[in-house]
Amino acid sequence: MASSVFLVIYLSLGALFLQQIAQAFYNVFFSPLRKIPGPWYASITGIPKLYNAIIRRKQSRWSHDMHKKYGQYVRVAPDEVLIDDVVAFREVHRMGTHFLKTKIYKFLNPTPPGQPPYGLFQETDPVRHSNVRRMVSRGFSLGYLRTNWEGTVHERVKAVVEGMKKEAVSNHGEVDIYKWWPLMAGDVISTLMFGECPHAVEQGLDDELIAGYKLNDAGNGFAYSFPYIYHILKWLPIPSLKRAWAGNPVLIERGKRAVENSREVSQKANIFATVLAEAERDDPTLSDFEIALNAGVLVFAGTDTTATSLTYLVWAVLSNPSLMQDLENEVAQLQPPYTDEKLESLPVLNAVIKETLRLYGAAPAPLPRYVPREGAVLGGYYFPAGTTVATQAWTLHRNPKVFENPEVFDHKRWLGGLASREEVKASWAPYGAGSRICIGMHLADMELRMATAAFFREFRGAKLAASTTPESMEVDNTFLIEPHGHACRVVLPTK
């Protein structure tokens, strides 16, 4: 009996081995993707891609280097191709596209790895996504934000400036802005989503929801990248692993209050109150859990993204004394109380923000999509159904045919009408594109304008600390970007 069991195991392993050999043989010699340029190993394995994304944390830079070496279309795995082609970019991400998000997005959810229900960002079903987005977007229009939430943003910006001042006084003028900006952005988006401000700025500590999200994100990312290892390790009684793959329990408790506050007409009203109040009779409704889930998803999406862009913006400006003086002079002319609409008219301020989003947009990594069931022809290549194709803002924004000296931070390029050029509009994607474009981009822009104006009004003459170097600010990223040194220390005037 035992020998029969072992025989079955051996035969099964042998069959699996032969199947893998046959698949590799097909990928190398018969796959339609074999005609696409790329490194020699790409037809056999995608491990180098994972290594550069997860271990080296250079996903966007590595993908960009692949394009520079092999061209606009690069095969980086047996069934995955990177694309740097504006025409293909528009086709893949256009409204109504049949190129749907891949399953990796389901692992970026606050639930346990790959488990539904999914938030707005993670939902891959286009009909469900469209319904939820239509409802939630009512609270994110620029006009609505300015009417109802501009005061909240102003108040949180003022609070973070005061927090920086206090730390500077007690620390010889030195503060880490990479610590402070997430506290501000987290306070803003939490207030909008939950109707309650966690006052992370005043405490000087990450809100527990954000801290829990970082653990959740790391655990789910591992589960997606190494599924076989995950399915073994998840059974081990190791508390740290259990926590990493348990989803975000803080979200559930906080979400209950988001649901309660969404139904109140009070100081605790949140964006979901608008969603529910303005829902038409025949609209689909959001369940209580979906409100809680999407509130948590949007808090995460609206915190590190805005904060990281602000960090790189301040670093880039302080690295250029002439630009710093121009920006300081411009915002010094503001007569308080000034509005976001007024800030939108300042040329230097907005040029700096544009250039920051070009070079240091928080999410510049490849955006993977599945080729639809009918297959597709892109750039003269045929892509069979189910192939993963991915474009990335990092490369689109560094096209030397569109942006002269693309690796140089030069805000002046935006002062001469560059944004109105068709080739720029076609490839501009700091917030994504098409029906999946970031729902919170107007809020992010508002925070960038207000925080930048406040910082350079209040801290005229700030400078980079000795520990903040080009090497420490080198971009690391898997999906979002962050400074290699995990800090950006600046010296603020204290008198």
Phi-psi region of 375 (alpha: psi -120 to 50; beta: other; left: phi over 0): left
Residue 350, both tokens: 């907005």
DSSP helix/strand/coil, 219: helix
Are 35 and 28 contacting, i.e. CB atoms less than 8 angstroms apart? no
Element (H, E) at 476: strand 475-477
* Residue 101: predicted pLDDT: 94
Dihedral of the CA atoms 296, 299, 303, 306 (nearest 10)? 130
Residue given tokens 């609206």 in the structure block: 302
* Residue 71: predicted pLDDT: 97
CATH number of 109-364+397-491: 1.10.630.10
Residue given tokens 């081995």 in the structure block: 17
Element (H, E) at 157: helix 150-170
* Residue 217: predicted pLDDT: 74
Distance of CA 19 to the CA centre of its chain: 37
* Residue 6: predicted pLDDT: 56
pTM of the shown model = 0.92
Domain map of the chain by residue range? Answer: 109-364+397-491
CA–CA dist 209, 203 (Å, integer): 14
Question: Per-10-residue mean pLDDT for the chain, 495 residues long?
Answer: 60 62 64 94 93 92 98 97 96 92 88 86 88 85 93 97 96 96 94 88 80 73 79 82 79 75 68 71 69 84 93 98 98 94 97 98 95 96 97 97 96 92 93 91 98 98 97 94 96 89
Q: Is 438 annotated as a binding residue?
A: yes
Are 38 and 74 contacting, i.e. CB atoms less than 8 angstroms apart? yes
CA–CA dist 186, 282 (Å, integer): 34
* Residue 401: predicted pLDDT: 94
CA–CA dist 137, 146 (Å, integer): 14
